[in-house]
Protein backbone atom coordinates (compact mmCIF):
# COMPACT_ATOMS: atom_id res chain seq x y z
CA UNK A 1 0.00 0.00 0.00
CA UNK A 2 1.16 3.51 -0.80
CA UNK A 3 1.39 5.98 2.07
CA UNK A 4 1.33 9.73 1.70
CA UNK A 5 2.35 11.98 4.57
CA UNK A 6 -0.07 14.77 3.81
CA UNK A 7 -0.70 18.36 4.87
CA UNK A 8 -4.10 19.42 3.48
CA UNK A 9 -3.11 23.11 3.68
CA UNK A 10 -0.14 22.60 1.34
CA UNK A 11 -0.84 22.99 -2.38
CA UNK A 12 1.96 20.59 -3.39
CA UNK A 13 0.69 18.00 -0.95
CA UNK A 14 -2.86 18.31 -2.31
CA UNK A 15 -1.53 17.95 -5.86
CA UNK A 16 0.35 14.78 -4.94
CA UNK A 17 -2.68 13.33 -3.17
CA UNK A 18 -4.94 14.07 -6.16
CA UNK A 19 -2.40 12.49 -8.51
CA UNK A 20 -2.21 9.34 -6.39
CA UNK A 21 -5.97 9.10 -5.97
CA UNK A 22 -6.36 9.15 -9.77
CA UNK A 23 -3.91 6.29 -10.22
CA UNK A 24 -4.06 4.15 -7.08
CA UNK A 25 -6.81 2.28 -5.25
CA UNK A 26 -5.01 1.43 -2.03
CA UNK A 27 -3.79 4.63 -0.41
CA UNK A 28 -3.04 5.39 3.22
CA UNK A 29 -3.24 9.13 3.92
CA UNK A 30 -1.31 10.10 7.04
CA UNK A 31 -2.09 13.54 8.43
CA UNK A 32 1.28 13.87 10.12
CA UNK A 33 0.54 17.30 11.61
CA UNK A 34 -2.36 15.86 13.59
CA UNK A 35 -0.65 12.57 14.41
CA UNK A 36 3.14 13.04 14.47
CA UNK A 37 5.28 10.04 13.67
CA UNK A 38 7.07 8.10 16.38
CA UNK A 39 10.85 8.34 16.59
CA UNK A 40 11.18 4.85 15.11
CA UNK A 41 8.73 5.53 12.27
CA UNK A 42 10.40 8.81 11.33
CA UNK A 43 13.88 7.23 11.47
CA UNK A 44 12.67 4.43 9.20
CA UNK A 45 11.11 6.93 6.79
CA UNK A 46 14.35 8.94 6.65
CA UNK A 47 16.23 5.75 5.75
CA UNK A 48 13.74 4.99 2.99
CA UNK A 49 14.19 8.53 1.67
CA UNK A 50 17.95 7.96 1.72
CA UNK A 51 18.43 11.36 3.32
CA UNK A 52 20.00 12.78 6.43
CA UNK A 53 17.55 14.26 8.93
CA UNK A 54 18.74 17.81 8.16
CA UNK A 55 17.73 17.26 4.52
CA UNK A 56 14.12 16.67 5.58
CA UNK A 57 13.91 20.00 7.41
CA UNK A 58 12.05 22.90 5.78
CA UNK A 59 14.81 25.46 6.19
CA UNK A 60 12.70 28.35 4.87
CA UNK A 61 10.10 27.81 7.60
CA UNK A 62 10.02 30.79 10.00
CA UNK A 63 10.14 28.49 13.03
CA UNK A 64 13.41 26.96 11.79
CA UNK A 65 14.97 30.32 11.01
CA UNK A 66 14.07 31.94 14.31
CA UNK A 67 14.56 29.12 16.79
CA UNK A 68 16.75 26.35 15.40
CA UNK A 69 18.87 27.47 12.45
CA UNK A 70 21.88 28.48 14.52
CA UNK A 71 21.78 25.48 16.85
CA UNK A 72 24.15 22.63 16.18
CA UNK A 73 21.63 19.77 16.37
CA UNK A 74 22.74 16.20 15.75
CA UNK A 75 20.65 13.66 13.81
CA UNK A 76 18.73 12.26 16.81
CA UNK A 77 17.93 15.81 17.96
CA UNK A 78 16.69 16.74 14.48
CA UNK A 79 14.45 13.68 14.38
CA UNK A 80 13.04 14.57 17.79
CA UNK A 81 12.52 18.15 16.65
CA UNK A 82 10.47 16.99 13.64
CA UNK A 83 8.35 14.86 15.96
CA UNK A 84 7.71 17.84 18.24
CA UNK A 85 7.32 20.32 15.36
CA UNK A 86 6.11 18.25 12.38
CA UNK A 87 5.50 21.36 10.27
CA UNK A 88 9.28 21.48 9.86
CA UNK A 89 9.17 18.33 7.70
CA UNK A 90 9.38 18.56 3.92
CA UNK A 91 6.16 17.56 2.21
CA UNK A 92 4.56 15.66 0.69
CA UNK A 93 6.35 12.41 1.36
CA UNK A 94 5.16 9.30 -0.45
CA UNK A 95 6.24 5.86 0.73
CA UNK A 96 5.91 2.56 -1.10
CA UNK A 97 7.43 -0.67 0.15
CA UNK A 98 11.08 -0.01 1.01
CA UNK A 99 11.38 3.39 -0.72
CA UNK A 100 10.10 6.91 -0.21
CA UNK A 101 10.35 10.24 -2.01
CA UNK A 102 9.53 13.85 -1.38
CA UNK A 103 6.91 14.19 -4.12
CA UNK A 104 7.85 17.67 -5.18
CA UNK A 105 7.85 17.86 -8.13
CA UNK A 106 5.26 15.21 -8.95
CA UNK A 107 7.73 13.62 -11.36
CA UNK A 108 9.52 12.23 -8.31
CA UNK A 109 6.69 9.70 -8.02
CA UNK A 110 7.71 8.05 -11.31
CA UNK A 111 10.79 6.57 -9.66
CA UNK A 112 8.77 5.26 -6.72
CA UNK A 113 5.70 3.59 -8.17
Predicted confidence (pLDDT) per residue in 17-60, tens digit? 999 999 877 899 999 999 999 999 999 999 999 999 999 999 99
Q: Does residue 60 carry a catalytic annotation?
A: no
Structural domains of the chain, count: 1
**pLDDT band, very low/low/confident/very high, at 13 (cuts 50, 70, 90):** very high
Nearest 10 degrees: Cα torsion 29, 34, 35, 40: 90
- Residue numbers of the domain that contains 100: 2-111
Residue 102 has pLDDT above 80, yes or no: yes
The 3-state DSSP class for residue 1 equals coil
**Which string of DSSP letters, residue by residue, matches 36-96?**
PPPHHHHHHHHHHHT--GGGGB-TTSHHIIIIITTS---HHHHHHHHHH-GGGB-S-EEEE
Among 3, 5, 10, 79, the one annotated catalytic:
10
Mean pLDDT of 62-73: 96
- CATH at 83: 3.40.30.10
Amino acid sequence: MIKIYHNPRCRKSREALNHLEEKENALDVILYLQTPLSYEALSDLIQKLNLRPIDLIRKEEALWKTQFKDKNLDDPELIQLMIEEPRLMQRPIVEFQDKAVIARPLDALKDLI
